Amino acid sequence: MISWPTPFRPAVPGTGHPVQVFDSATGAVRAITPGPTARMYVCGITPYDATHMGHAATYVTFDVLGRALRDAGHDVEYVQNITDVDDPLLERANRDGIDWEDLAAEEIALFREDMTALAVIPPDHYVGVVESIEPVGAAVRALLERGAAYSVDTPDSDGDDLYLDISTDAGFGAVSNWTREQMLAVFADRGGDPDRAGKRDRLDPLLWRAARDGEPSWAVDGLPQGRPGWHIECTAIALDHLGMSFDVQGGGTDLVFPHHEMSATQAVVLTDQRPFARTYTHQAMVGLHGEKMSKSKGNLVLVSKLRADGVDPMAIRLALLGQHYRTDWSWTDAVLEQAQARLDTWRAALSVNSAPDSAQAVEAIRARVADDLDTPGALAAVDAWAKQTLTRGGADGTSAGVLARALDAILGVRV
């Protein structure tokens, strides 16, 4: 799938620091220790509605992580999927009387525009499920051959639905470290079907859904006519493009369980290797009026709507960077107004012809970002430099330019 244009990344003197982030699997902040190329997979959108601030926060957070890794001298190989066939997409298309493929194409196009406006570096591989039916089907077939998958009687289809037997992975639970009770408490709300008759374990996830009337389906060797379940798409796409033990699996905290747990278990059972990812990192939930912002609830602040209203995308990006990725927060008009005011101040300060030295501010951006993506700390360092510049001035003719390039390259903020 085509992604979107790569923003120019200016060179910054010096090098960034080794990067550490919070890892859900170990419950600790840990160093990411890639080879020359860091391999990152971030779960992409289900394209049935427009990009909201929660999605934007997730993709900007992992954009900053990619930028920090590049600044520290690594190349980054970045994969993102698109869940372009799944129940919520089909339900929305049915509700609105439009073709599911047209709905997906429209929302993906809008997502590309939003990401471009927010200066997010695109993935190297932007991969839809519809274009991955072969590798996803092969993964399901391999799980069947290994005795890790089983069929469940499906009266409303000519074929049977296929499920993963989670007991085939002795390490199941290692990504979330949740108790069985915690898992069962959210499973149904997050796409699972704990009460489906005929399953061996209530938590077993759907791998392959046999064809139903009126639903899209594909013919794949060795499987009933059907379509992929949700988690297996990310297992198959990640293994296809990155292989096992890649550096970072990312997404929002709503994906810790079941999505990242199941994706990892399936990969472990398929390959007899572990771990799937070496670090699991999650963006906290963005809300509106104290409730999680979600397409299903419809309480959305959309990037595209703000853009249409004339809001500067860099103010949106700064509003997101002003929050730490591990803290839940709610979008308000005041958050955006403060970000716009901050951007105005920075622009005024960065336009002066002579300014104080900016080496300390550049170093602070690097140090803060590498330390568990402390973007609020990085922004505070720039605030301090801007204040000094606008109140006391300075004598350096190049420092503002260097800081502007560091802001652009490391934080993706174009002033």
Q: Which residues bind ligand 5CA (CB under 6 A)?
A: 43-46, 54-55, 57-58, 81, 83, 234, 251-252, 254-255, 283, 285-286, 292-294
Cα distances from 63 to residues 31, 68, 80, 140, 240, in angstroms, run 17, 9, 12, 31, 22
When the beta carbons of 172 and 230 are compared against ligand 5CA, the nearer one is: 230
Nearest distance in Å: CB 296, ligand 5CA? 9
Nearest distance in Å: CB 193, ligand 5CA? 17
Cα distances from 16 to residues 65, 133, 227, in angstroms, run 12, 40, 44
User: Which of the listed partners (Zn ion, ligand 5CA, none) does 375 bind, with a CB threshold of 5 to 8 Å by partner kind?
Assistant: none
When the beta carbons of 71 and 261 are compared against Zn ion, the nearer one is: 261
User: Which of the listed partners (Zn ion, ligand 5CA, none) does 412 bind, with a CB threshold of 5 to 8 Å by partner kind?
Assistant: none
368-380 b/e (C-beta count within 10 Å ≥ 16 → b): bbbbbbbbebbbe
The answer to whether the peptide bond before residue 258 is cis (omega within 30 degrees of 0) is yes
Nearest distance in Å: CB 259, Zn ion? 6
The answer to whether residues 225 and 210 touch, using CB atoms and an 8 Å cutoff, is yes
How many residues does the structure list for the chain?
A: 415
Choice from 40, 211, 220, 234 touching Zn ion (CB under 5 A): 234
Nearest distance in Å: CB 111, ligand 5CA? 9
**What distance, in Å, lies between the first and last C-alpha atoms of the chain?**
31
Q: What is the distance between the alpha carbons of residues 236 and 263, in angstroms, rounded to a whole number?
A: 9
When the beta carbons of 16 and 191 are compared against Zn ion, the nearer one is: 191
User: Which of the listed partners (ligand 5CA, Zn ion, none) does 409 bind, with a CB threshold of 5 to 8 Å by partner kind?
Assistant: none
User: Which of the listed partners (ligand 5CA, Zn ion, none) does 356 bind, with a CB threshold of 5 to 8 Å by partner kind?
Assistant: none
When the beta carbons of 230 and 346 are compared against ligand 5CA, the nearer one is: 230
User: Which of the listed partners (ligand 5CA, Zn ion, none) does 157 bind, with a CB threshold of 5 to 8 Å by partner kind?
Assistant: none
When the beta carbons of 248 and 370 are compared against Zn ion, the nearer one is: 248
When the beta carbons of 286 and 413 are compared against ligand 5CA, the nearer one is: 286
User: Which of the listed partners (Zn ion, ligand 5CA, none) does 58 bind, with a CB threshold of 5 to 8 Å by partner kind?
Assistant: ligand 5CA
* Near Zn ion in 17-56, by CB under 5 A: 43
Phi first, then psi: what are they for 206, rounded to 5°?
A: -70, 130
The residue at minimum Cβ distance from Zn ion is 43
Q: Which residues contact 413 (CB under 8 A, 6 or more apart)?
A: 119, 314, 317, 318, 321, 343, 346, 407
User: Which of the listed partners (ligand 5CA, Zn ion, none) does 254 bind, with a CB threshold of 5 to 8 Å by partner kind?
Assistant: ligand 5CA
The structure tokens 């960034």 sit at 16
Q: Which residues contact 165 (CB under 8 A, 6 or more apart)?
A: 147, 148, 149, 150, 200, 201, 204
User: Which of the listed partners (Zn ion, ligand 5CA, none) does 55 bind, with a CB threshold of 5 to 8 Å by partner kind?
Assistant: ligand 5CA
When the beta carbons of 136 and 355 are compared against ligand 5CA, the nearer one is: 136
Binding-site size for Zn ion (CB under 5 A) equals 2
When the beta carbons of 75 and 87 are compared against ligand 5CA, the nearer one is: 87
When the beta carbons of 83 and 358 are compared against ligand 5CA, the nearer one is: 83
User: Which of the listed partners (ligand 5CA, Zn ion, none) does 174 bind, with a CB threshold of 5 to 8 Å by partner kind?
Assistant: none
The residue at minimum Cβ distance from ligand 5CA is 54
Q: Which residues bind Zn ion (CB under 5 A)?
A: 43, 234
